[in-house]
């Protein structure tokens, strides 16, 4: 029986370690929990790429700004957009717009970017999560984070522009503040 348990332990460690690889090295101050109706999405913030945008996202998150906001634009195979308190795609926070912090980081599946108008320096509170690679966005929008766990829940967000029955952010919090 002990040989069976040893073999089981070895197999379990081989199978489970990749699922949790990277989770333990996340900095709680630079990690977001995005709770959706289907589950929790864990986001690694990228202050190395966009320090002002990360600062803004954390400030709004800590203020509870994102709690209850809908995903107003969700395009299957492209991205899910949220962060507008009006739900129309035209609103933002009361804070001033941010200057662009473009980088060489590519827009791949799971990457988070800031939405903006045609003015590169107009990002405020709206952001999007990529469903697939979007190379045409590279160097045109600010990358500020990446999903490290729970992308399957992002995939379940109701699609549409706007969706007939839009999904909401149940709660968003900085991991360091989570209780």
Query: What confidence tens digit (pLDDT) does each residue in 117-141 have?
Result: 999 999 999 999 999 999 999 999 9
Element at 119 (helix H, strand E): none
Report the alpha-carbon distance of residue 173 to residue 179 in Å, rounded: 10
For residue 98, what are the CA distances in angstroms to 8, 52, 62, 107? 52, 8, 18, 20
Confidence of residue 10 (pLDDT cuts 50, 70, 90): very low
pLDDT tens, residue by residue, 40-66: 999 999 999 999 999 999 999 999 999
Half-sphere exposure in the Cβ direction for 130 (13 Å, CA): 24
Q: How many residues does the chain have?
A: 179
pLDDT value at residue 179? 72
pLDDT value at residue 108? 98
Whether 168 has a pLDDT exceeding 80, the answer reads yes
pLDDT tens, residue by residue, 15-45: 443 443 455 689 999 999 999 999 999 999 9
Contact predicate 32/42, CB 8 Å: yes
Q: Which residues contact 131 (CB under 8 A, 6 or more apart)?
A: 75, 76, 77, 78, 79, 80, 109, 154, 155
Question: 6 — phi, psi (to 5°)?
Answer: -65, -45
pTM here? 0.87
């Amino acid at each position: 029986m002990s040989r069976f348990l040893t073999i089981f332990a070895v197999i379990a460690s081989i199978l489970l370690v990749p699922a949790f690889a990277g989770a333990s090295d996340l900095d709680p101050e630079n990690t977001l929990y995005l709770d959706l109706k289907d589950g929790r999405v864990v986001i690694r913030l990228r202050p190395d790429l966009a320090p002002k945008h990360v600062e803004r996202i954390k400030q709004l998150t800590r203020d509870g700004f994102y709690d209850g906001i809908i995903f107003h634009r969700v395009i299957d195979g492209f991205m899910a957009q949220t962060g507008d308190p009006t739900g129309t795609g035209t609103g933002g926070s009361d804070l001033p717009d941010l200057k662009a912090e473009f980088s060489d980081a590519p827009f791949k599946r799971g990457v988070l970017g800031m939405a903006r108008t045609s003015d590169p320096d107009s990002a405020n509170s709206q952001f999007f999560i990529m469903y697939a690679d979007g190379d045409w966005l590279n160097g045109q929008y600010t990358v500020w984070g990446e999903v490290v766990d729970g992308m399957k829940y992002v995939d379940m967000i109701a699609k549409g522009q706007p969706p007939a029955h839009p999904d909401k952010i149940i709660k968003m919090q900085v991991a360091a503040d989570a209780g």
